[in-house]
Amino acid sequence: MEQKITRLLARFDEVERELGNPDVFSDKRRYKKLAQEHSYLKDVKESWFETERVRKDLEDNRAMLKEESDVEFLEVLQEEIASLEKSLPLLQTKFEALLIPPDPRDDNNTILELRAGTGGDEAALFVADCVRMYQLYADALGWNLETLSATPSDLGGFKEYIMIFSGKNVYRKLKYEGGTHRVQRVPETESQGRVHTSAVTIAVMLEPVEEEAIDIDEKDLRIDTMRASGAGGQHVNTTDSAVRITHIPTGVVACCQAERSQHKNKDTAMRLLKARISEEELLKKNKEVSSERSKQVGSGDRSGRIRTYNFSQNRITDHRINLTKYSLDRIMDGDLDQIIEPLVMHFYQKMISE
């Protein structure tokens, strides 16, 4: 571990020197690669120094505790030690996750497609809660977020919600969110106080980058327009603004009714269609290469139950890594890294072992 950290810190200094060379700007591809590497190594360096600072402070305070006799100062030391003991494991987890080498796709735009599953209106309300959770997470990390499509339900939730995230490490952090998310709680409409179980499914897709752009022949598309449905304002059911595009060779379908403009809805539906076709091709390719590798890529499979949110016990469990946290309230407010970073580490270690 120490040797690896030493190498990374030395490489950070090398990259800084290279970026300081004016000649590097003449090669855009090289400059972009160096800038991305510098950003990653800077995060590693800052995280390492912060972790070491907290570890050193903890050691110093523990040493002082053994020698101190002043009662009031002992209380201060004990409080500070408790605080440091709480923060050190979190910093270590964050740092260890950073040691995972970056993937070229880490920063690629990432689409999350949330759908209400079993549970009817309660499932639709949980879709809205999950949308809020991911939006708060994106805000905390400085990501940009764009809603591609939303189908509201009658009680204020969403039957379906599709959004795209852009920013640093969006795919790195979101790629394992795909699957079935189960919720256990007492619905607001439940007069007997009984706990109901509902579920939403989440699919994760990469938006193809320019060099991976899907070439689609217009002749292979069937484009249907219709009136938007559901709660959505005065324009709903008054104009044929909703668009559904079917890619005839693959049968892949994408719909959008988020905008009043049929043209905007068509553009959004095309983005979704290309992402879905790209995802289908990726899964097919990896299935052909290796069934074991397909399982790894399939960690975003919609059908598998991956997580349970138990509101009455303030508990969240990720079943893939047997991780349970009693901080569901904080996670629903966007503190998702306490779940996501252990996931990133787990799947990286699994990939290495296989």
Token pair of 124 as six digits? 């639709």
How does pLDDT run along the chain (354 residues), one tens digit per residue? 788 899 999 999 999 999 999 888 898 888 888 988 898 899 999 999 999 999 999 999 999 998 888 888 899 999 999 999 999 988 988 888 888 888 888 999 999 999 999 888 899 999 999 999 999 999 999 999 999 888 899 888 999 999 999 999 999 999 999 999 999 999 876 767 788 999 999 999 998 876 566 678 888 889 888 776 655 444 444 556 788 888 888 888 888 876 777 888 888 888 888 888 888 877 776 665 444 333 433 333 445 789 999 999 999 999 999 999 999 999 999 999 999 999 998 988 887 776
Would the CATH topology of 110-212+291-353 be identical to that of 218-289? Answer: no
Predicted TM-score (pTM) of this structure: 0.72
Q: Give the model's pLDDT for residue 212.
A: 61
> In angstroms, rounded to a whole number, what is the distance separating the alpha carbons of residues 140 and 334?
7
**C-beta atoms surrounding 205 within 10 Å:** 25
Q: How far apart are the first and last CA of the chain?
A: 21
Residue 309 CA: distances (Å) to CA of 180, 276, 339:
11, 28, 12
Task: Fold for 110-212+291-353, please state it.
Answer: Alpha-Beta Plaits (3.30.70)
- The structural domains of the chain, with segments of one domain joined by +, span 2-98, 110-212+291-353, 218-289
> In angstroms, rounded to a whole number, what is the distance separating the alpha carbons of residues 288 and 242?
37
Contact between 41 and 8 under an 8 Å Cβ cutoff? The reply is yes
Task: Fold for 218-289, please state it.
Answer: Double Stranded RNA Binding Domain (3.30.160)
